[in-house]
Structure 1
């Protein structure tokens, strides 16, 4: 038996002991909300990876039993056209914004200053939503790194702009666990010779080297949020969840129809970020993705009009949404910029 098999067996024994111990206590111990990881790491102690998130904490049970979990694999053959999806409206007040960029140990996270308000509306949204955080997901290899997949294939990374419903809820924490609470705009990242101007501000050498280790932070000013969006009004949307514990199913996802670009050097700089503090062993932050979750008959809608007649989506019959026609995939390659051939 290999060392890895022995280590895996020990982890299972530790988990089984913990679950049994917690269940036997009159007041089970409270699990620290930060006690989770994306990947298995030998550090002398068990930290739950995605397959265990819903087992170690009853408050996270949706991670295991939820039926509307994210991320998902977007199959183009299952997309439907929704004529009622209007373009996304971005409201920055025509001002540039500032914020603090963090190494959280799991993500590169940019959180805006509270005096800089950025709101979005339109699309699948009934209410206006306020930008709370921008997170970057990326892989150790160019062929993986995005949480969402397109026809089973990943992109090099994924930018997630996380917004909360500020019309119904007072803050992100309240909205995250409430109906119609979150809207997350997802933009795939691809490697190219030149980079997106917003990403260039975040990932240039003078900036990214300031957050090499966990808990490092660096202040950025003069950011134009509009620059992170690709030049398209087309998108895909579905109802899902947060992709981190507690996996609340309160998120509407909007996947933009074009990727943004970063250079190979900038991707290399991301992979040099550590999950740990300087006094600990270096562990790359890369591969900070949750595996895709079952779609469970959810509708994947788009505002790309293929002019094809078809069946109604069972969840949206009143809207007369259309399924693909006979030549759907050819039309998809023509209309959709991040088609399989573009990965």
Structure 2
């Protein structure tokens, strides 16, 4: 079975601290959590402990709408009322600062240049807040979401927020729209990612807390040429795992070169005076789907560019009865 899902990097952005967690606010600001074990000799909670070490993070362990998930095509439901996403850039390019946060490559746009996203499953217009990259140490894994059990080298996630003030938005659990694009390795690179990952840029953020200003970015270059996507209700994928995210996974990949992927794997999650640890494998394991629906605007009854193997796909998308209850 073939779907146009050649994707392998994910961008995702969340910086959240909750009023109820004042006792450990400093630890939250210092990033007191990790994706994998550290070697400095001190305990830093990995994903399996996120929901156990802090009561403000209990959704990480007890939540019923957690992300990421393994997208099983047999659970997808065609929704004819899902309209295409709309991007409004005001006809201008944007600037942004790229950071090595120690856990992600993060691009945060200049607030003077508004980029709004609406349409699709979104009831409001959301403001672009961050582009974030997830990637693996090997090409077979690196995306947070899986497709029928298959991982990709990375995933690009853009987060959109209802709040105009990002600092205040980060302090409250509220609705977030997350657009996810799998990324695959190819000889050619996506135009937007090429600006972020070319040698002159990526080498400016080798270590934690490094930052570099980029100008003249066209966010439209990031998105592949398709109106097809799938969507489900889930959570942010870092502590405190708030279940307030509408996920939109684009049904086409974007690409980076093998050299650019290698450059990502050479980024350190530590400061230069500490032992080198690659930022790669910065992914949370998939979570149980439970009773959630996965909707899509891909019409499986029609042969088209996004669904070339229509004959094989059609029987895979029958709605299970429990989804309709």
Band of TM-score, shorter chain: 0.7 to 0.9
What is the deviation of 1:178? Answer: 3.6
1:246 aligned to 2:240? yes
Partners of 1:173 and 1:43 lie apart in 2 by 33
TM, length-normalised to structure 2: 0.84
Q: Give 1:69's match in structure 2, choosing from 62, 66, 89.
A: 66
For the aligned residue pairs, the C-alpha RMSD in angstroms reads 1.9
Partner residue in 2 for 1:330: 313
Q: Show structure 1 runs of 5+ residues with no match.
A: 1-26, 309-326, 334-343
Query: 3-state SS of the aligned residue for 2:202?
Result: helix
TM-score by length of 1: 0.80
* Residue number in structure 2 paired with 1:218: 212
Mapped to 1, the partners of 2:169 and 2:212 lie a distance apart of 27
Residue in 2 aligned with 1:256? 250
Count of aligned positions: 286
Pairwise CA distance, 1:42: 1.6
Which one has more relative contact order, counting CA pairs under 8 Å at least 6 apart? 2
Alignment of 1:127-166 (within 5 A): 127-166=124-163
Counterpart of 2:279? Answer: 285
1:29-68 equivalences in 2 (<5 Å): 29-30=23-24, 32-33=27-28, 34-68=31-65
Q: Which runs of 5+ in 2 are unaligned?
A: 1-20, 303-309, 317-325
State the distance in 2 between where 1:173 and 1:242 align: 17
* Cα distance in 2 between the residues matched to 1:276 and 1:62: 28
Which residue of 2 is the match for residue 174 of structure 1?
A: 169
Q: 2:192, 2:221 within 8 Å by CA — same for their partners in 1?
A: yes
Structure-2 separation of matches of 1:185 and 1:95: 21
1:193 is aligned to 2:187: yes
| Map of 1:101 onto structure 2 | 98
* Structure-1 residue corresponding to 2:196: 202
Say which structure is richer in helix.
Answer: 1
Task: Summarize deviations over 1:240-285 as a string: whole Å, max 9, x none.
Answer: 0000001000100000000100000000000000000000000000
